[in-house]
Structure 1
């Protein structure tokens, strides 16, 4: 028996094929909430850009993972050990990607972001360091 896709899986697919391509026109711009992460495909070597919510922290960024840790862009970043983030109109080379849990991310996030991510049930985050 094939398991039924969850609502979150359906939303992830909608975002990947419909919302993300539209969002890329604004992601990373000054005064826009979404950033853009540029990463290289693990097998293809092709360059990809994915919109994400990258929260600036003292030495880098923390990115919530609302669809879990199995998404392609994250697997690409982890395999490469680096990526490029465009946020607020500036571009940053980032290294040392590490998946952290909500308890580790919370003290580094603003109360507003911490509360929003908790409300959406986001348990995993990607932490990267600006090179």
Structure 2
């Protein structure tokens, strides 16, 4: 068999295998995988922040204050607007620092579609509570990665 046919096949199998390992790791909430993804995400957050929150972008930014440091942070997120605020998918669970900061402060600012929204009453809720508010695509992502927790916030206005 020719190497020109074997190598692309091996590469494709490797990509499929890596993708399957990623999905399985996320569904099982693998601490090892989630730590690696969070580290990677933090390194590239500045790139994501360049367009997040701007008009027309599906990504937003949550502005929050560190529980211990008192520092202000900007974290890219994908907020899903609801009639009374936003729902944010938590694929890494509610234990991520930014979510814990928002919960501790009882408020934050979400920049979405070019507008700053002051939000309050943050709470962790299950999928069943927010399912009727979410677009079908969010349900697919939730099912694929077995997301169980969502952060729901209410407009402060």
Deviations 1:17-69 (A, max 9, x none): 2x212101111011111100000111111111000010001100000001111
Aligned to 1:102: 127
- Runs of 4+ that moved beyond 6 A: none
Deviations 1:72-131 (A, max 9, x none): 111110000000000011110000000001111211111222222222221110000011
Aligned to 1:54: 79
Change in 2 beyond 3 A, CA 1:5/1:130: closer
Where do 1:67-78 residues align within 5 Å? Answer: 67-78=92-103
Q: TM-score scaled to structure 2, two decimals?
A: 0.77
How many residues are paired up?
127
CA distance in 2, matches of 1:9, 1:118: 21
CA distance in 2, matches of 1:78, 1:121: 22
Deviations 1:1-27 (A, max 9, x none): xxx95223211211122x212101111
Q: Which runs of 5+ in 1 are unaligned?
A: none
Q: Which runs of 5+ in 2 are unaligned?
A: 1-29
Aligned to 1:38: 63
Change in 2 beyond 3 A, CA 1:121/1:47: same
Q: How large is the Cα RMSD of the aligned pairs?
A: 1.4
Change in 2 beyond 3 A, CA 1:5/1:71: closer
Please state if 1:116 is matched with 2:141. yes
Q: Which has the higher strand share?
A: 1
Q: TM-score scaled to structure 1, two decimals?
A: 0.91
CA distance in 2, matches of 1:5, 1:64: 18
